[in-house]
Amino acid sequence: MAAINDLIDQIEDQGLRERIKAEVEKMNKQKKFGLVFEEHIPECTPLYDIPIKRGSTVALKSGDIKETYSVISINDDVASCRNKVSRETAEFSLDDLVSVAEFGEPIYPYLKPIDEVENAPDSDLWHTLIEADNYHALQLLEYLYAGKVDCIYIDPPYNTGARDWKYNNDYVDGNDNYRHSKWLSMMEKRLLLAKKLLNPKDSVLIVTIDEKEYLHLGCLLEDIFPESYIQMVSDVINPKGVARSGFRRNDEYIFFIMNGSCQPARLPLGNEWSSSANTSNSDFNPSVSNNPQWTSMMRRGSNSSREHSPGCYYPIYVDPESKQIKEIGAPIPNGNHNGPNIKGLIQILPIRTNGAEGCWQVSSNELKKRIEQGRVRLGKQTSYGFVVNYLPDGAYSELFTDNWSIDGKAEDGSLIAHRIGEVSELRVAPTQWKIASHNASENGSSYIAKILNDDRFSFPKSLYATHDAIRFFVANKPDALVLDFFAGSGTTLHAVNLLNAEDGGHRRCILVTNNEVSEAEAKSLTAQGYKPGDNEWEKLGIARYVTWPRTVCSIEGHDVNGNPLKGDYISNTEEPLHMADGFKANAKYFKLGFLNSTEVALGFRFKEMLPLIWMKAGAAGKCPVLENGEIPPYLILPENKFAVLTDENYFAMFREELQGKNEIDTVFLVTDYETNYRSMVKDLNAKKTYQLYRDYLDNFRINKGRRSK
């Protein structure tokens, strides 16, 4: 403030000087609200599989990852290095060094195949596990699936003070005065990328947390997702409670960040979901069991005012005689409250019962499309016109499943449908969950120990707690894409497989986890002379020792020793789901690596790029490989639903062979010239096309320093 006052004193106009000084004094007296935390030294990531060359950025494997060096020269197995801060030079054995990716620098990632499990050879559904620092993995996923993810479920480190998470390769403990801001800085970087992955029209982010950070996390989520509806529930995960200073802890919190029209589905829930506080008749709605789930077009909750979405404040014109929507007006400019009147029609605006100006769920252009689809209808007449209802994406897509029959359209053009078969009462879950199957000890720790014959992984989630949290948002999305970038033991993929087994869904899951070893294991391995990157070290990391073995064993129905798993899953299916039967599912395990951009641009790295291309095209079918390493002029892969032209001189042959291949959804064209790319696209009948390697290189080149909300 001293600097500001000095600047004010330099204002020559006395009247202006006094007025500004008075306003600054008022600001100083105001209480500041909101989340404030410090930026910390940017994170660095060790890249153990990246070869060290002249010019590489490196750090000592046994040292501080933040203390980086630039390699000046390499003679035999000794590297001459310059410290990037002190500028002092030193020599190190190459075996003692590791390549480092500094935060914000351009990266050019690829996916290195490690392993796979195929228990459904007739299915084109493949899940993926990516071993990586999750920040760099999220950068890759942004390139692959920006705006396409339906559900993100994460269980981040809870920052309890235990040595259970690292920042810049150092454990953060309870005595660190900056542990809260370090945690928030780490989470913000990842949540900003996660937001870009979510479908803005209809998706959910689910974050679990405990009392140590839930207040800070809530503020951070409000800051990053101001336009979303955010709700928190409490879930009892240990009825006995865990001893801590103060009260015994037996629950945790789950934040649900609902984007666009997203909302939890009404589902058949057992009596344990009820309590004396939430068994009112208003929770039950038997009628929606028979009929589609029509929802009000008025946006509800936070960020539902006109100012939050000016483009969704527009008039809807209705004929009061026929009770049909006749016109959709344009967004009304600021300063005006009504659209133009149309003779004989009633103008309906998103006005709340208290007179406040709200907004519609979707834009005027999107509403027109939904009217054509039969997804909009009028409800009861009110003093301000009519209630306008619509079918959200999940409820609409559900009508085209075997559970529903579409009978036609009403006079207003809206769909008429009814549920087939036995009808049960559906309800929305309360905000307090006390569900026996959510016990993390019985259905988390014990289950992991049963698969691995080892209890080294602490605090895994109950399979059913994760299953229930997700199913409220993907029950009506049988083809949902689900992501977990704090994958831990792999509970989320397991839960997605269980959901698919219950209802025949085709949901795909992507897991991301690092391959950290525990602190005790690191000390033991170091004492034996091993370093990070060594096979003996890596095989004890969480991805290779826990996440992937659990994925394989749960899909194939046995433990790590090949013994059939005992017991049945807790499920509402008519026939029991035996754990020993596994799941009709497939999964691919990759490790994230990095490429030289020049080699990519010259087409030398097509073999390494192929898994990435496979994922961008939707990861359908078994990931293709180049058997002999030679790059063909083109690849046409109907089983994978994509094709690649690597040599544009073969375009005519490529185009001819694509004729009649209706399975191909995505085409990749390798060319350096935009005009050539556009010309080829015009001659193809493809749903999606991409220019390689330009779109890939441009995407990651501009990642440098990118941090926008």
Domains of the chain: which residue ranges?
A: 1-30, 44-102, 111-281+428-588, 286-418, 619-701
- In this model, does residue 52 exceed pLDDT 70? yes
Asked, colleague to colleague, whether 44-102 and 111-281+428-588 share their fold, the answer is no
- In this model, does residue 41 exceed pLDDT 60? no
- Read off the pLDDT band of 26 (50, 70, 90): confident
d(CA 47, CA 107): 12
Count the Cβ atoms, other than its own, within 10 Å of residue 91.
11
d(CA 491, CA 448): 10
- In this model, does residue 234 exceed pLDDT 90? yes
CA atoms within 13 A on the CB side of 442: 15
Of the candidates 391, 413, 389, 387, the one whose C-alpha atom is nearest the C-alpha of residue 404 is: 391
Alpha-carbon distances, residue 639 vs 38, 124, 479, 633, 643 (angstroms): 50, 8, 18, 19, 10
Q: Of 384-398, 562-576, 635-649, which one has max mean pLDDT?
A: 635-649
Of the candidates 251, 263, 247, the one whose C-alpha atom is nearest the C-alpha of residue 214 is: 251
- Read off the pLDDT band of 708 (50, 70, 90): very low
Q: Above pLDDT 90, what percent of the chain?
A: 52
Of the candidates 274, 369, 294, 295, the one whose C-alpha atom is nearest the C-alpha of residue 328 is: 369
Residue 45's pLDDT is what?
A: 77
Of the candidates 152, 151, 155, 153, the one whose C-alpha atom is nearest the C-alpha of residue 237 is: 155
9 or 70, which is more confident: 70
Residue written as tokens 């009709």?
A: 584
d(CA 467, CA 496): 7
Contact between 615 and 602 (Cβ < 8 Å): no
pLDDT tens digits for 212-233?
Answer: 888 989 999 999 999 999 999 9
d(CA 180, CA 172): 10
- Read off the pLDDT band of 38 (50, 70, 90): low
- In this model, does residue 32 exceed pLDDT 60? no
Residue 702's pLDDT is what?
A: 59
- In this model, does residue 302 exceed pLDDT 50? yes
pLDDT tens digits for 661-681?
Answer: 989 999 999 999 999 999 999
Of the candidates 496, 495, 457, the one whose C-alpha atom is nearest the C-alpha of residue 479 is: 496
Give me 698's structure tokens.
């441009």
- In this model, does residue 191 exceed pLDDT 90? yes
Mean pLDDT (whole number) for 111-136:
94
32 forms bridges with which residues in the sheet?
none
Give me 547's structure tokens.
């996440």
Rounded to a whole number, what is the distance in angstroms from the first to the last CA of the chain? 29
Residue 31's pLDDT is what?
A: 47
115 forms bridges with which residues in the sheet?
589
Count the Cβ atoms, other than its own, within 10 Å of residue 249.
16
d(CA 704, CA 88): 27
Q: How many residues does the chain have?
A: 709
pLDDT tens digits for 3-12?
Answer: 677 788 888 8
Alpha-carbon distances, residue 592 vs 68, 170, 197, 319, 635 (angstroms): 21, 21, 18, 58, 24
- Read off the pLDDT band of 387 (50, 70, 90): confident
Contact between 510 and 482 (Cβ < 8 Å): yes
CATH topology of domain 111-281+428-588: Rossmann fold (3.40.50)
Which residues 6+ apart lie within 8 Å of 12 measured at CB? none
Residue written as tokens 């994958």?
A: 487
pLDDT tens digits for 589-638?
Answer: 999 988 888 899 999 999 999 999 999 999 999 999 988 878 999 999 99
What CATH number does the domain located at 44-102 have?
2.30.30.30
Alpha-carbon distances, residue 305 vs 296, 357, 360 (angstroms): 15, 6, 9
Indicate the burial class of 598 (C-beta count within 10 angstroms; 0-12, 13-18, 19 or more).
Answer: exposed
Which residues 6+ apart lie within 8 Å of 677 measured at CB? 669, 671, 691, 694
pLDDT tens digits for 500-552?
Answer: 999 999 999 999 999 888 878 888 998 898 888 888 988 999 999 999 999 99
The amino acid at residue 280 is: S
What pTM does this model have? Answer: 0.74
- Read off the pLDDT band of 165 (50, 70, 90): low
Alpha-carbon distances, residue 312 vs 327, 351, 361, 493 (angstroms): 15, 12, 7, 37
Residue 519's pLDDT is what?
A: 79
- In this model, does residue 283 exceed pLDDT 70? no
Task: Report CA torsion sign: 556, 559, 562, 565.
Answer: negative
What's the mean per-residue pLDDT of the chain?
Answer: 86
Contact between 167 and 40 (Cβ < 8 Å): yes
Task: Report CA torsion sign: 572, 574, 578, 584.
Answer: negative
